[in-house]
Amino acid sequence: MNGVFDLGGTDGLGPVNPPDSEPVFRAEWEKAVFAMYPACVGAGYFGIDQFRHGVEKMDPATYLTSAYYEHWLHSIEAHAVAVGAIDPDELDRRTQHYLDNPEAPLPEHEQRQDLLDFVDAAVSVGASAGRRTVEQPRFSVGDKVRAADISPFGHTRLARYIRGKQAVVVAHRGSFIYPDSAGNGFGDAPEHVYTVKFSSEELWGRGFGDPSGSVCFDVWDPYLESIDEKEEARSA
């Protein structure tokens, strides 16, 4: 989707202002939201691509101005409601309850070793998105390619600033879950992933792009067009 989250190349947002230091979590609620991510993935509410798409669908003004973990809260809540695990009216009632009584305790519950083991395993092993496909890779290192100039409505990782731009394949990474399928709830549908390199002048134009700069970007196979194929199609 063509959303504001797709920020690469946007002007006018102001300076970065990195602080000298900051805590990992700036408030207690950030810790709880951070833990909800593995909890809800473990419960099967969403996968990482759907999670990202949930963030992308936030109100754009809120997205740009809110604390980072508010993005997570928005997506977790939306998915938990969508799968029927959370009743939104009940969530509203409890929110009011904790607004009126900020120190009110969480429900009593038993601690569970299986959930701690799940956290430890998730952190130390992770969850690779690598998936086998029977398709052979269509491109090789050194191939000249063009990023597809298309605007999918759902989740995609085809950023606007690379669309229609010419690049060179610098690596084939193997095959992985395809975000345009998985992020929209249609399953893994793995595709080959390549790293392609765009010159800064190709992206921003001569006089505007850094003359000795480049951007490397990872693309799934359907994001790429062979330049030769395209030219053949034109002349046919």
Q: Identify residues 185-204 at the interface with another protein (CB under 8 A).
A: 193, 195, 197, 203-204
Near another protein by CB under 8 A: residue from 136, 140, 212, 235: 212
For residues 219 and 146, give the distance between their C-alpha atoms in angstroms, rounded to a whole number. 11
Nearer to another protein, 10 or 151 (CB): 10
| Residue range at the interface with another protein (CB under 8 A); choices 83-91, 136-144, 182-190, 228-236 | 83-91
Report the C-alpha gap between 226 and 82 in whole angstroms: 39
Residue choice 2, 59, 64, 144 for contact with another protein (CB under 8 A): 64
- Residue 161 in contact with another protein, rule: CB under 8 A: yes
- Residue 76 CB-half CA count within 13 A: 18
What is the rounded distance in angstroms from the CA atom of residue 18 to the CA atom of residue 16? 6
Nearer to another protein, 33 or 145 (CB): 33
- Coil vs helix vs strand at 98: helix
Cα–Cα nearest to 167, from 198, 213, 123, 210: 198
Exposed, middle or buried: residue 101 (CB in 10 Å: 0-12, 13-18, 19+)?
A: exposed
Does position 167 interact with another protein (CB under 8 A)? The reply is: no
Question: Smaller CB distance to another protein: residue 112 or 234?
Answer: 112
Site for another protein in 87-146 (CB under 8 A): 90-91, 94-99, 102, 106-107, 109-112, 115-116, 119-120, 122-130
Of 43 and 233, the one with the shorter C-beta distance to another protein is 43
Of the ranges 77-85, 137-145, 181-189, 227-235, which one interacts with another protein (CB under 8 A)? 77-85
Contact 37, 51 (CB under 8 A): yes
Q: 16 to 45, contacts with another protein by CB under 8 A?
A: 16-19, 22, 24-29, 31-36, 38-40, 42-43
219 close to 198: Cβ distance less than 8 angstroms: no
User: What minimum distance in Å lies between the beta carbon of 12 and another protein?
Assistant: 8
> Could you please report the per-residue DSSP string of 155-186?
-----GGGTT-EEEEEEEEEEE--HHHHTTTS
Question: Considering the rule CB under 8 A, would residue 150 count as an interface residue with another protein?
Answer: no
Using CB under 8 A as the binding rule, whether residue 60 contacts another protein is answered as no
Phi, psi angles (nearest 5°) of residue 63: -55, -45
205 binds another protein (CB under 8 A): no
Supply the minimum distance, in Å, between the C-beta of residue 124 and another protein.
5
Q: How many residues does the structure list for the chain?
A: 236
